[in-house]
Structure 1
Amino acid sequence: MPSRPVGTPTRGTTNPNRLRRMDRWIAATLAGRLRGADDPVAVDLGYGAAPWTAVELLGRLRTVRPDAEVVGVEIDPARVAAAVPYERPGLSFRHGGFEVPLPGGRRPLLIRAANVLRQYDESQVAAVWAGLCGRLAPGGLLVEGTCDEIGRRHVWVTLGPAGPQTVTFAARLGSLDRPSDLAERLPKALIHRNVPGERVHAFLTAFDRAWATAAPFAALGARQRWTRAAAALSDAGWPLTDGPRRWRHGEVTVRWEALAPGG
């Protein structure tokens, strides 16, 4: 293991409930693996200047697995020192970076890296993803993405040891004029690819078109309009991996290869 943490400090911006959409999706998606895990430990990587996101992640995972644990990992030692008073059984904080320094050789079932890679170059993302996935327990997941300051709009990629699997778009639907408003929150691997000729641009264009077609359902609420638009995307052949139950939460998840860079 490197003698110094791998990576650079983030801005540290954090707010209570900023990652609630991601957390709820994780708790639902990872539920079966959490219940079956011998060591249900998760890492909140780069939690920032305050420990709220780690505290909240623990609470949400424990609705599924009461003995789940969360380790907050931060590259800034001052942030770790500030978080230590919040430690309790199942919640701890460690100084580190992309090497994910868990004691005793433990491997996490989940690594959540929210708003961490935003400051890196796109060319660095694949290596970071590979390194983090190499730290996962068998069957584990890396969830990496970006959200706005108060968690209204969020896009994340889910990865396993074999690489990227899905991309999830999630929003407080009342904050959107159209689905492509989420483009500003695309993860680093995709944000510069939202241009004509790239798959992610084609997807967001199709989503906007479906949203416009579903305009008559706006009278029933944004949730109904979003659900109808998502159904239209699925009918058009976009490989969505979820269905109405998750769409009603303001989410849509699509297979990575449908959006991957490369046109």
Structure 2
Amino acid sequence: MGPYRPADGTARPAGPSAGGRRPVGEVTRGTTNPNRLRRVDNWIAHRCAGLLRDAAEPLVVDLGYGATPVTAVELRRRLAAAVRPDVRVVGLEIDPVRVAAAQPVADPPGLSFRRGGFELAGLRPVLVRAFNVLRQYDESEVAGAWRTMTAGLAPGGVLVEGTCDEVGRLAGWLLIDRTGPRTLTLSARLSTLDRPAALAERLPKALIHHNVPGTGVHALVRALDDGWRDAAPYATFGPRQRWIRAVGAVRAAGWPVVDPTRWRLGEITVPWSAVADGPPAPA
């Protein structure tokens, strides 16, 4: 879902879904690749495992899965293996052609596909993953989309919203609940990372236009980049050791970096309050 426009420049209409609800949102470009969302999926399996295990109904929505359903298939497989085998994943797309094309890989009740948008097709999921969706919207639409999605969550549910590059080597995402964003995570495939500044191109939509001097997110990316540069001697021991030293330097400089067990995986997570120079959190 995104501000995709056909050649004539008009927005594609979103008619009623099979359940009678009108999907909220617009059709995205739909580009995707196998393993593109592996990094965020593994983080979800770690960070949200307790939430899913405690849920009476472990329902997860993959919102805007794109032109092919591969990322929804992978999400279901990863969560079933790492968290609980009875997890249910529902892939939602506004484009009925994409929904129909996904049906051959559906495996009810564990994996299904239906038409829907930010309103979540009336579902009450414990978790929503919306990746590479809001990146295609105007920043002014972000807070409203957050409000719509989080309003549909089950009690205690969360939204994971972010973006990544075409092959999933660079990514950034927010953990959001009904009160607003809670954390920002930046993640990189260390074996191909030139410098952390490259992550600025994959910031979530709420932050990407705020990566300018004087903002929290700009200072964070710069601190990480500086830490990576200063840790260059550790490159002898591999990019993982260099990254761990760089993130450690960021925390030593006073940043409230959390979850050090994930540093070795090429991740850095900070509270939203450390970078909240973007639009206001949804009320």
TM-score range relative to shorter protein: over 0.9
SS at match of 2:142: helix
The 2-side partners of 1:176 and 1:122 are apart by: 28
- CA drift at 1:130: 1.2
The residue that corresponds to 1:201 in the other structure is 218
Moved more, 253-262 or 198-207: 253-262
Listed one character per residue, the Cα deviations across residues 19-75 of structure 1 (whole Å, up to 9, x for unaligned) are 000000000111111111100010000000000010000011112111000000001
The residue that corresponds to 1:77 in the other structure is 96
**Amino acid in structure 2 at the alignment position of 1:83:** A
The 2-side partners of 1:184 and 1:175 are apart by: 15
The residue that corresponds to 1:30 in the other structure is 48
Gaps of 5+ in 1: none
Post-superposition, which runs of at least 4 consecutive aligned residues in structure 1 deviate over 4 A? none
TM-score, normalised via structure 1 length: 0.95
- CA drift at 1:2: 7.6
- CA drift at 1:77: 0.4
**Amino acid in structure 2 at the alignment position of 1:160:** D
Tell me if the contact between 1:49 and 1:79 (Cα under 8 Å) persists in the aligned partners: yes
The residue that corresponds to 1:136 in the other structure is 153
Number of residue-to-residue matches in the alignment: 259
After superposition, the CA RMSD in angstroms is: 1.4
The residue that corresponds to 2:5 in the other structure is none
The 1-side partners of 2:72 and 2:152 are apart by: 19
**Amino acid in structure 2 at the alignment position of 1:259:** V
The 2-side partners of 1:53 and 1:258 are apart by: 30
Listed one character per residue, the Cα deviations across residues 194-252 of structure 1 (whole Å, up to 9, x for unaligned) are 11111111111111111111111110000000011111111211111210x20111111
- CA drift at 1:187: 1.0
SS at match of 2:175: strand
Tell me if the contact between 1:2 and 1:99 (Cα under 8 Å) persists in the aligned partners: no
The residue that corresponds to 1:248 in the other structure is 264
**Amino acid in structure 2 at the alignment position of 1:79:** R
**Amino acid in structure 2 at the alignment position of 1:236:** A
Listed one character per residue, the Cα deviations across residues 89-134 of structure 1 (whole Å, up to 9, x for unaligned) are 31000101111014xxx41011000000111111110111111111
Tell me if the contact between 1:118 and 1:188 (Cα under 8 Å) persists in the aligned partners: yes
Confirm or deny that 1:232 pairs with 2:249: yes
- Aligned pairs for 1:47-196 within 5 A: 47-63=65-81, 64-89=83-108, 90-102=110-122, 106-196=123-213
Tell me if the contact between 1:240 and 1:254 (Cα under 8 Å) persists in the aligned partners: yes
Task: Calculate percent identity across the aligned residue pairs.
Answer: 62
The 2-side partners of 1:77 and 1:136 are apart by: 23
The residue that corresponds to 2:8 in the other structure is none
Relative to structure 1, the CA distance from residue 252 to residue 2 in structure 2 (aligned partners, 3 Å threshold; closer, same or farther) is farther
**Amino acid in structure 2 at the alignment position of 1:21:** R
The 2-side partners of 1:219 and 1:79 are apart by: 47
**Amino acid in structure 1 at the alignment position of 2:271:** R
Gaps of 5+ in 2: 1-18, 279-283
